[in-house]
Chain A
């Protein structure tokens, strides 16, 4: 789950105010300190809960209905319609409902910045589909295959299986660092090739934070960063 204001992954405390999920930082910045108080804080003041309820109710009506009349001057779509349907009516709506659209984007994707290709320009990608090797059958299954008398077929499958195991025995590919090396490495010192291979190594090991750091470093270079 992400904070709907800043888009950060929620790790510790989840604060839900008027149906919107905030992280602790954002809740503080929005002036919702009272929601962060420990229950023990109000034990000394018996009137505190009543005050809180009253001010929360006042704030709820302000937040829920304050902007509902906001309307796009071009297509006539209202903020309420956008919030209900998740769709906008025209290009101008992006200006009219800018804050709400950004919030929706953060909520869904944790990001609102465009990083894709330009119109009529091809995306830089050379990705191709690689075969996913078949897994080797277990000894039990192999035995069953042989017992039914289809030795030839079993032998074929054995060959396929042994082929798929070969890459593990190979010498480490040039430019490919181990996970441990990647974790300790100064990313600025790695070559593009090492970064690219590293992303796969990190993702395979489910080290997604490392994988995204490597990706960002590589992307920074491609965009004309450290390596020019």
Chain B
């Protein structure tokens, strides 16, 4: 089955992905920061026994080889944080066929159920909830009437639910005061927005994460409804900014669009930052391109963006390694674009 992020999602000119994460802990065990190795092994065994192996692959992270780790990072099952694979014998990861549904054990909380979909698709909540319900029936989860589902991180106590939209906002980013205004707007919904990366190569990617904040005082339905209203506003705002930029500087944006495509299509060496800048311009002008010379689907633009954002491995300090990475990245992009040309 095709991996989840290769599917064609709604509003994928702006929304790269929608994710729903539900965290749970199991009664009878300390939370992760205070769980000793013996109890941790018992927790891993208990969860392993509750997981439907006809649906899920995976297991203890200590058994994963290097290629599996790379694959799970690319599929966004493993987080981007460097500590994701620290203490692998205290963690386990399970994932379904297309990796759209995963269960992490020992990553911050005992259990994290994550459902992901390409583009704008709130059905991920139902998918994650279905799996969470199965686990709640099989395992005795930590719950109190006052605080709801209890978590080690008290900011998650309550519903234990986070909804995250990863959005590409090249036009709002290029509009003066655009991100500040959007941040204010997002705050009015009591959600938050933050850049995909605060610093380093990906800092200017124009990609942001919009995430729910409240887990108390709100129902799951409230969170979902508010999120859908918010993301609809964000999509409209980004499209309006694209329209504004293109209509006021049609020739210049058309020129940068062509150059950006050329860079991606023919570069022999390319940094992540340069590739993402080029993809940002392509995203901005894509729907306005009427030359008929560049045949590029939104799916390809999104795949390239996500491949680069979730590229495994930290940036290398050694020049020769950095050159190798740039070379293989450029080759990978060329191959994908060549494939799209043939379509």
Q: Decide if A138 touches B243 in the complex (CB within 8 Å).
A: yes
Those 8 A-B pairs whose CB atoms lie nearest each other, nearest first: A111-B217, A89-B34, A114-B148, A123-B220, A116-B159, A125-B221, A75-B34, A150-B290
Does A70 touch B at the CB level, under 8 Å? no
The contact sample of 18 A-B pairs, CB cut-off 8 A, is: A75-B34, A105-B216, A108-B155, A111-B218, A112-B147, A112-B217, A113-B216, A115-B219, A116-B149, A122-B133, A123-B220, A127-B122, A129-B10, A131-B11, A132-B120, A135-B239, A141-B247, A141-B250
- Closest-by-CB residue of A relative to B231 is A132
Q: Decide if B30 touches A127 in the complex (CB within 8 Å).
A: no
Q: Decide if A141 touches B136 in the complex (CB within 8 Å).
A: no
Does A148 touch B at the CB level, under 8 Å? yes
| B135-176 to A contact mask, C-beta < 8 Å, 1/0 | 011000111111111101111011101000000000000000
| A127-142 to B contact mask, C-beta < 8 Å, 1/0 | 1111110110110110
Does A67 touch B at the CB level, under 8 Å? no
| B240-265 to A contact mask, C-beta < 8 Å, 1/0 | 10010011001000000000000000
Does A203 touch B at the CB level, under 8 Å? yes
- Docked CA distance A104–B30 (Å): 21
| B285-297 to A contact mask, C-beta < 8 Å, 1/0 | 0011011100000
Q: Decide if B217 touches A144 in the complex (CB within 8 Å).
A: no
A interface list, Cβ under 8 A from B: 74-77, 85-91, 94, 101, 104-105, 108-125, 127-132, 134-135, 137-138, 140-141, 144-145, 148, 150, 153-154, 199-200, 203-204, 206, 208, 215, 219
Given contacts A86-B155, A110-B217, A120-B137, contact A132 B236 (CB under 8 A): yes
Does B232 touch A at the CB level, under 8 Å? yes
Give the residues in chain B near A104, CB-CB below 8 Å.
Answer: 154-155
- Closest-by-CB residue of A relative to B108 is A87
| Residue among B33, B120, B290 having the largest count of chain A Cβ atoms under 10 Å | B290
- The interface-forming segment of B50-58, B68-76, B222-230 is B222-230
Task: Identify which of A77, A132, A153 contacts B11 (C-beta below 8 A).
Answer: A132
- Give the Cβ gap from B125 to chain A, nearest Cβ, in Å: 7
Give the residues in chain A near B224, CB-CB below 8 Å.
Answer: 125, 127
- Docked CA distance A120–B141 (Å): 10
Does B121 touch A at the CB level, under 8 Å? yes
17 more A-B residue pairs beyond the given contacts A85-B33, A86-B154, A109-B216, with a C-beta to C-beta distance below 8 A: A87-B31, A89-B34, A108-B213, A109-B217, A112-B216, A115-B158, A115-B216, A116-B218, A123-B219, A123-B221, A130-B232, A132-B232, A132-B236, A134-B239, A150-B292, A199-B225, A219-B219
Q: Decide if B217 touches A123 in the complex (CB within 8 Å).
A: no
- Give the Cβ gap from A193 to chain B, nearest Cβ, in Å: 15
Give the residues in chain B near A112, CB-CB below 8 Å.
Answer: 146-147, 216-217
Q: Decide if A89 touches B247 in the complex (CB within 8 Å).
A: no
Does B316 touch A at the CB level, under 8 Å? no
Q: Decide if B225 touches A141 in the complex (CB within 8 Å).
A: no
Q: Decide if B141 touches A119 in the complex (CB within 8 Å).
A: yes
Task: Identify which of A109, A145, A219 contacts B214 (C-beta below 8 A).
Answer: A109
Does B129 touch A at the CB level, under 8 Å? yes
